[in-house]
Amino acid sequence: EARANIALTKYWGNADDDLRIPANESISLTLDRTRTVTTVSFQADLKADEVVVDDRPLAGPALERVVRHLDLLRDLAGVTWRARVVSHNNFPTGAGIASSASGFAALTVACAGALGLDLSTRDLSRLARRGSGSAARSVFGGFVLLHTGPSDEDAFAEPLHGPDWWEICDLVVILSRVEKRVPSTAGHHLARTSPLHPARVARVAALNERLRQALAERDFATVGEIAEEDALLMHAVMMTSRPSLVYWLPETMAIIHRVRRWREEGVQAYFTIDAGPNVHVLTLPEYVDRLLTDLRADPTVQEVLACRPGEGASLIG
């Protein structure tokens, strides 16, 4: 099993697309209530890999991506048997809530377990990255830093602080469950077509320095400001890619303004948005009740998942 994570500074765009080596370092928070449970069994009698996610069999590019990941781990173990993979998410898939992060982290850990591979968490993180960049972060709980290259060996995540370090809350505001038209993998390829991409990559390096310090000092306003700035930077790159990716919906815009009004009203709340229309509201425990009341009264809000720092990926069952 593994959990999704919310990037406080985003991973967007690769230095190496094939190896999924990120263009910039990113820092995330693993979320307790966004859980993927995956079982993998390698079987001599299977002719092809079978993958079922949320009771639907995968096919086409989504299946190929998982097969490539299984191949990576099979090669390491010297195994050729095909696998049956069954995975369940307790949250919407493919809507910018990092289902690929929890999915590939869970798959990597479950696969390594099923194949009897004895790997360090660093190696698991590096391998998970090959399936989905942000999955490298979900291998760990709490506050996590994903390194960039230069090489495959250097691009792994490491924990900065465990889940007990600081009780930051992430209210995942679900506005749409529609799967996005351009999946993140395709978007990463497009990042470099934006004239703003190099400027963002340079800026994120400075933001990461400040963010590490703010997390160490539990300085919430600084964490929130950085998260909000980098979310806007990433969406600026997306919107100015060719083709342009506009993930925001009218409802997204309304929550952005709502978050800023909350701050004017003295509530410590900041937004961040992954590659989708749904908004993550970062806040502290004392504001959660107030924010949940407001959000649940909003007819454009379908559901709110109130998350806290969660554990890393692990073998269960």
Question: Where along the sequence are the contacts to its own copies (CB under 8 A)?
Answer: 195-196, 198-200, 202-203, 228-229, 232-233, 236, 239-240, 242, 244, 246, 248-254, 256-257, 260
Residue whose CB is less far from its own copies, 215 or 237: 237
Instruction: Tell me the closest approach of the beta carbon of residue 225 to its own copies, in angstroms.
Output: 9
Residue whose CB is less far from its own copies, 171 or 233: 233
Residue whose CB is less far from its own copies, 115 or 191: 191
Buried b (16+ CB within 10 A) or exposed e, 87-101: bebebbbbbbbbbbb
Instruction: Tell me the closest approach of the beta carbon of residue 256 to its own copies, in angstroms.
Output: 6
Instruction: Tell me the closest approach of the beta carbon of residue 77 to its own copies, in angstroms.
Output: 45
Residue whose CB is less far from its own copies, 164 or 264: 264
Instruction: Tell me the closest approach of the beta carbon of residue 8 to its own copies, in angstroms.
Output: 16
Instruction: Tell me the closest approach of the beta carbon of residue 250 to its own copies, in angstroms.
Output: 4
Residue whose CB is less far from its own copies, 104 or 271: 271
